Structure 1
Amino acid sequence: MSNTQTTIAHIVTWRLNGETPVLRAAQAQEVVHAFEAARHEVPGLLRMEVGANFIEAPDAWDVALYMVFASRADLDAYQAHPAHLKIKSLVGPMRAARGQADFSIAA
């Protein structure tokens, strides 16, 4: 049995529904700013990287989010956290598609 602690990675990507690259870029910045504003509000969040894509490609996502949580319980609690719910209500109307992956990583 290993004593290695694990943390939880939470990765989300969004394709936004702005009709032009300029509109999608503006939407992406809005999403990025919302996550950055909530950075210190979420218990158990150890690390967060969020950014707007800067390369136009047919299969590119507009925004990518990488979060590391101290535990699965912290990730689960984040789902109902008011900061997360506020961001979901912002992103929902802008969202054309969403991808997500959650997995354990060695701490």
Structure 2
Amino acid sequence: MIRHIVMWSVAGQTEQQRIEARLRVKSAFEGLRGRIPGMRSLDVGIDFSDVDYACDVVLVAEFESRRSLDDYATHPEHAQVRAQLNGLRIARHQVDYVVEC
């Protein structure tokens, strides 16, 4: 199994704009749950720590295989989410690793 973790910082000049951006990112990615072949689970969280080095949103997904993860990267519904969030995410960090069972 592969675990895919992505963290984003979002755009916004005011705190309200950043809150709305976080919620849009969370909602958009949660909409992929159950729609991507090979995706076993998907969880999206919003940071509440408010420390200056924290990211705003995290996605943790598990895939059956590396191939499933690769297919997710080019899946049309995933591409649609990325397009609809264009400009909202200003920084991105990612880690993919094999989960040892």
Same fold (TM > 0.5): yes
Q: What's 1:73 paired with?
A: 67
Alignment TM-score, normalising by the size of structure 2: 0.94
Which of 18, 22, 45 aligns to 1:24? It is 18
Q: What's 1:34 paired with?
A: 28
RMSD: 1.0
Percent of aligned pairs sharing the same letter: 36
Question: What whole-Å deviation, never above 9, does each CA across 1:46-94 have from its counterpart, x for those lacking one?
Answer: 1111011122111111110000000000000001101110111122211
Q: Distance in 2 between matches of 1:40 and 1:13?
A: 21
Question: What secondary structure is seen at the aligned counterpart in 2 of 1:23?
Answer: helix
Matched residue type, 2:62: V
Larger Rg: 1
Is 1:85 the equivalent of 2:57? no
| Structure 1 gaps, min length 5 | 1-6
| Structure 2 gaps, min length 5 | none
Aligned residue pair count: 101
Matched residue type, 1:26: E
Alignment TM-score, normalising by the size of structure 1: 0.89
Off by >6 Å, runs of 4+ in structure 1 = none
Q: What's 2:93 paired with?
A: 99
